[in-house]
């Protein structure tokens, strides 16, 4: 049997001392949060509390969707669309949230406000310490978000972004290689195939990984 971490357990079974690391799919219960296998959050103060401490204003209907094999550093936060205040008139004060006459007079306005939609994080995304992801942002596969970045707009696949507001600093690969990597989609391979070829996945170049995937029948041209 392969000695690989079990994604159905909270902490990595191959490194039981890593109690600061939690596989998020095992600790999240909200139907508004979807997280793929092996995506982890690292926080010595309670990684398993990610749902309540790091996903803010999670009242719906928009969802937070995170793919597989993502790495989230301590303090990474997701601000959900319910945090938004009205900006269609003279005031931004959220009268509708306080109940009573204020809610009765403004509930229809609040319900009709435009939403930024789901926040979507792709696969193999690395989000640095204390980064903040704003409502409705899409971060594509293989992207890197720098420490303390505030991401207010979409980040392309294999982009490296930092700053406030975050901007793409550079791309990790040329466009053709990015397209190839997304076709390879190693994160969707069977776990045994990932284990067999983990060195190439981690340190190889896109064309090497593509050649390997073709040999294994994991990539069609």
H or E element, residue 212: helix 206-215
Q: Do both 61 and 87 map to the same domain?
A: yes
Q: Where among 172, 190, 206 does a domain terminate?
A: 172
Q: Do both 180 and 76 map to the same domain?
A: no
Q: Do both 29 and 67 map to the same domain?
A: yes
Q: What is the pTM of this model?
A: 0.94
Question: 11, 85, 138, 197: which one is catalytic?
Answer: 85
Selection from 154, 115, 114 nearest residue 137 by Cα: 154
Cis peptide before 61 (omega within 30 of 0): yes
- pLDDT, tens digit, for every residue of 47-82? 889 999 999 999 888 999 999 999 999 999 999 988
Mean pLDDT of 81-89: 89
Q: Do both 44 and 142 map to the same domain?
A: yes
What pLDDT sits at residue 204?
Answer: 96
**Residue 4 exposed, middle or buried by CB count within 10 Å (0-12, 13-18, 19+):** middle
Q: Do both 161 and 95 map to the same domain?
A: yes
CATH for 103:
2.160.10.10
Q: Do both 25 and 90 map to the same domain?
A: yes
Q: Do both 106 and 211 map to the same domain?
A: no
In the predicted model, is pLDDT for residue 103 greater than 70? Answer: yes
Q: Do both 153 and 188 map to the same domain?
A: no
Q: Which residues contact 52 (CB under 8 A, 6 or more apart)?
A: none
Mean pLDDT of 175-188: 97
Q: How confident is the model at residue 175 (pLDDT cuts 50, 70, 90)?
A: very high
Q: Do both 32 and 107 map to the same domain?
A: yes
Q: Do both 95 and 187 map to the same domain?
A: no
Domain that holds residue 92: 21-172
**Residue 27 exposed, middle or buried by CB count within 10 Å (0-12, 13-18, 19+):** middle
In a domain, 7, yes or no: no
In a domain, 11, yes or no: no
Q: How confident is the model at residue 159 (pLDDT cuts 50, 70, 90)?
A: very high
Q: Do both 155 and 89 map to the same domain?
A: yes
What pLDDT sits at residue 134?
Answer: 97
Q: Do both 83 and 155 map to the same domain?
A: yes
Q: Where among 134, 149, 172 does a domain terminate?
A: 172
In a domain, 3, yes or no: no
- The total of structural domains in the chain comes to 2
11 is catalytic: no
In a domain, 189, yes or no: yes
Could you give the CA distance from residue 74 to residue 165 in angstroms, rounded to a whole number?
20
Read off φ and ψ for residue 207, nearest 5 degrees. -70, -35
């Amino acid at each position: 049997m392969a000695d690989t971490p079990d994604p159905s357990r909270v902490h990595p079974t191959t490194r039981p001392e890593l109690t600061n690391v939690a596989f998020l799919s095992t600790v999240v219960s909200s139907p508004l949060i979807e997280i793929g296998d092996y995506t982890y959050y690292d926080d010595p103060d309670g990684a398993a509390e990610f749902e309540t401490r790091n996903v803010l204003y999670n009242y719906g209907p928009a969802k937070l969707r995170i793919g597989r094999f993502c790495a989230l550093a301590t303090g990474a936060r997701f601000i959900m669309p319910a945090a938004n205040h009205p900006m269609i008139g003279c005031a931004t004060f959220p009268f509708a949230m306080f109940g009573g006459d204020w809610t009765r007079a403004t509930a229809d306005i609040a319900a009709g406000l435009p939403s930024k939609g789901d926040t979507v994080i792709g696969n193999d995304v690395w989000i640095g310490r204390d980064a903040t992801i704003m409502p409705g942002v899409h971060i594509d596969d293989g992207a890197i978000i720098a420490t303390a970045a505030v991401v207010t707009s979409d980040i392309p696949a294999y982009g490296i972004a930092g700053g406030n507001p975050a901007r793409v600093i550079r791309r990790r690969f040329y466009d053709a290689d990015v397209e190839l990597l997304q076709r390879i989609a190693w994160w969707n391979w069977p776990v045994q195939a990932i284990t067999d070829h983990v060195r190439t996945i981690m340190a190889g170049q896109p064309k090497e990984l593509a050649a390997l995937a073709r040999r294994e029948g994991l990539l069609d041209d």
